[in-house]
Amino acid sequence: MNKKNKKAKRMYNIAVIPGDGIGQEVVKAAVTILDKLPIDFNYTYAKAGDECKEETGVPLPDETIELAKNSDAVLFGAAGETAADVIVRLRRELNTFVNLRPVKSLQPDKYGNIDFMIVRENTEDLYIGDEEETPEGAIARKKITKFASERIAKYAFKYAEDTGRKKVTAVHKANVLKLSDGLFKKSFYKIAEQYPDIESNDFYVDATAMYLITNPLDFEVIVTTNLYGDILSDEGAGLVGGLGMIPSANIGDDNGLFEPVHGSAPDIAGQGIANPAATILSACMMLDYLGESQYARKVEEILIDVIQEGSHVTPDLGGDSSTQEMAEYIASKL
């Protein structure tokens, strides 16, 4: 996941976009931990989201986009009702064609050691937002191309190869969407031929939704389209403790954008009880991207220890600590 030709340099320009609601709280928590590392981070904060739209009239200002493009990495919090105009557009502006969403057990659960990666195509599908009203209602167009499908499949197999995983599973609905999802499936198996040592298989998305519940340990790497990846990663979050436990990385040839999977959670915003784990893990993925993997693993190990210890965690994890208290306790162990 390292940035192309990136070597650890110990000083990085980071664009920080806290966004809305709990995004501001969990980003502060992650920065608290990053600041304990022997790395020089130069943070530049920028606005985006619902509050930004109220203040400026636009949810994602041009200056925020330019800052993101010219930074070594972007750490993002959450967007509310303007999410489609903020994070979806930001991924597109940065040309981050892959969205990585790891689903990993951080605390004991009934399934055992769940650990798989969802590799989600980030530029196409229904999320291109090509919609129009019609006299009967509305139409949304689904875009799937050979180029993007092969590119994401190749990324998934290379990721499996680099991380020692033995199987890649494509998820689609080619039995119904014969042209679009059919192309995605065909592209997947074309790339699979280049990786004979890695097992390849495929499932329909509805079957996958069941298999994730009945046998999640069967999965190692899932590669899928934009919409399916979004939905299945939320289901995966339910397997390992909720949305507060799932980070994500948006990776392109020149840019990296890192964000928790959860939204702005306006119902608990400002209460200081949001689980910061997903954002801390997103910061770990950012460290990996920057070539600082030794520190990513250290932070991840301490976070897991703290969660399993259970004495300094947020209420959703069974504790009574605030978001910032949990972050400061983790930082103290660094």
Domains of the chain with bracketed CATH = 1-109+246-334 (3.40.718.10), 124-239 (3.40.50.2300)
Distance, CA of 247 to CA of 258 (rounded, Å): 8
- pLDDT tier at 205, thresholds 50, 70, 90: very high
Q: Which strands make up the sheet holding 98-104, listed edge to edge?
A: 40-45, 11-19, 73-78, 256-260, 247-251, 98-104, 115-121, 221-224, 167-172, 199-204
To the query of whether residue 40 is one of the catalytic residues in this protein, the response is: no
- pLDDT, residue 5, reads 43
Torsions phi, psi for 171 (to 5 deg): -120, 130
To the query of whether residue 190 is one of the catalytic residues in this protein, the response is: no
Torsions phi, psi for 88 (to 5 deg): -65, -45
Summarize pLDDT for 120-137 with one digit per residue, the tens.
999 999 988 899 999 999
- Cβ neighbors of 192 (< 8 A, separation 6 or more) are 153, 157, 168, 198, 200
Q: Is 40 exposed, middle or buried (0-12, 13-18, 19+ CB in 10 A)?
A: exposed
Of 35, 109, 162, 206, catalytic: 206
Of 53, 173, 288, 295, catalytic: 173
- pLDDT, residue 196, reads 97
- pLDDT, residue 129, reads 87
- pLDDT, residue 1, reads 65
To the query of whether residue 230 is one of the catalytic residues in this protein, the response is: yes
Residue whose pair of structure tokens reads 């969205």 in the numeric block? 99
CB atoms within 10 A of CB 89: 17
Q: Is 170 exposed, middle or buried (0-12, 13-18, 19+ CB in 10 A)?
A: buried
Of 28, 167, 234, 316, catalytic: 234
CB atoms within 10 A of CB 270: 11
- 169, pLDDT greater than 90: yes
Mean pLDDT of the region 168-190: 98
Of 230, 288, 289, 295, catalytic: 230
- pLDDT, residue 3, reads 56
Of 12, 127, 155, 228, catalytic: 127
- pLDDT tier at 112, thresholds 50, 70, 90: confident
Summarize pLDDT for 86-100 with one digit per residue, the tens.
999 999 999 999 999
- pLDDT, residue 2, reads 58
Distance, CA of 6 to chain centre: 20
CB atoms within 10 A of CB 201: 12
Summarize pLDDT for 4-16 with one digit per residue, the tens.
445 555 789 999 9
Distance, CA of 327 to CA of 232 (rounded, Å): 28
DSSP states along 95-162? T--EEEEEEE--S--TT---EEEEEEE-S-BGGG--EEEETTEEEE--B--HHHHHHHHHHHHHHHHH
Mean pLDDT of the region 69-77: 97
